[in-house]
Amino acid sequence: MSVTLDTKATNLRHDWSLEEVKALFALPFNDLLFKSQSIHRNNFDPNQVQISSLLSIKTGACSEDCGYCPQSARYDSDLKPEALMPIDEVLKAAKRAKDQGASRFCMGAAWRQPKDKDVDRVVEMVQGVKALGMETCVTLGMLTDKQTQTLKEGGLDYYNHNLDTSEDYYSEVITTRTYQDRLDTLERVRDAGINVCCGGIVGMGESDKDRANLLIELANLPNHPESVPINMLVQVEGTPLMGTDSLDSLTFIRTIAVTRILMPQSRVRLSAGRKEMSDEMQALCFFAGANSIFYGDKLLTTDNPMTNHDKALFERLGLHSGGSSYV
């Protein structure tokens, strides 16, 4: 099947079919990367990468059973649970991230869903981080309408809530909340006027079809998420997904390329898993259309490449940091 493409993305599409997306994945590698790079440079500065830093503001002891996650209370992952951080510590971390060059600060909490009083404390953090001149993102689990309103009124820029995988594969990974629960939270976030950060994880043992269907779910939402994190599973001892066969690097790069083609104006983030990737693989991901990273020595609870290494990589590739959300 041949696929016609609008490289300038004047018409963002929300009607991708499985056949079309499978055909993209099946293209010769060079043809796929040529297409994704053409779309990328028609919509973005091809050498600019947006930089976000993460902080776990409430760690571990989570009631959910997400099979990849070291923060679930159900698995024995050697992680020390920590209560919600005091605001001054959060702001110190944000200031450090800003000084290192991050433009967005993402705060993650290991909750199924926050309590209203938790949201009020997070709003104080958001306001403090914004006052430092950074964009803000939080990921707190499922939200109510009232909570999305509170976050919007508090000035939050982005909410991260991932679909994680295809609807078909989802129950293999998580049983304590449904795919529809995730879609409902995403709709609430969108309706409240907060930018959406939504992507998934690959390398969890899913099939080619599952990866295609995850990207279709994202692209066929009424609006494309402004940020699309593509995580490679970080395998953590004690979690059920530890020991999963690792995903072929070229398939990962193809996944980035197809994400760029389906969502031409979104920030595609090369997210978790970079520590296990070679510089050459990351370079191909940037060529395929990734233009955002998590930066800083830690993700939430696992290691990320050292900042000095990333700085050197940017220099070697002639990349510069900058840019915020949508084009």
Residues labelled catalytic: 62, 66, 69, 106, 137, 197, 269
- Out of 8, 41, 92, 112, the only residue in the binding site for ligand SF4 (CB under 6 A) is 112
Main-chain dihedrals φ then ψ at residue 189, nearest 5 degrees: -65, -45
Strand partners, 62: 72
Binding marks (x or -) toward ligand SF4, 132..171, rule CB under 6 A? Answer: ---------x------------------------------
154 in contact with ligand DTB (CB under 6 A): no
Positions touching ligand SAM (CB under 6 A) are: 68-69, 71, 108, 110-111, 139, 141, 161-162, 164, 201, 231, 233-234, 236, 272, 300
- The pattern of x and - marking residues 259 through 278 that bind ligand DTB according to CB under 6 A reads ------------xx------
Q: Which is nearer to ligand SF4, 106 or 319 (CB)?
A: 106
Q: How near is the Cβ of 28 to ligand SAM at its closest, in Å?
A: 29
Contacts of 243 (CB under 8 A, 6+ apart): 235
Burial of 88 (0-12, 13-18, 19+ CB in 10 A): exposed
Task: Name the amino acid, one letter, at 312.
Answer: A
Least separation in angstroms between residue 316's CB and ligand SAM is 26
Distance CA 16, CA 258 (A): 11
Q: SS3 helix, strand, coil % of the chain, rounded to 5?
A: 40, 15, 45
Our CB check for ligand SAM shows the closer of 32 and 189 to be 189
40 within 8 A of 291, measured Cβ to Cβ: yes
d(CA 287, CA 75): 37
d(CA 89, CA 170): 35
Draw the binding track, 178-207, toward ligand DTB (x: CB under 6 A; -: no contact). ---------------------x--------
Q: List residues binding ligand SF4 (CB under 6 A).
A: 62, 64, 66, 69, 71-72, 110, 112, 141
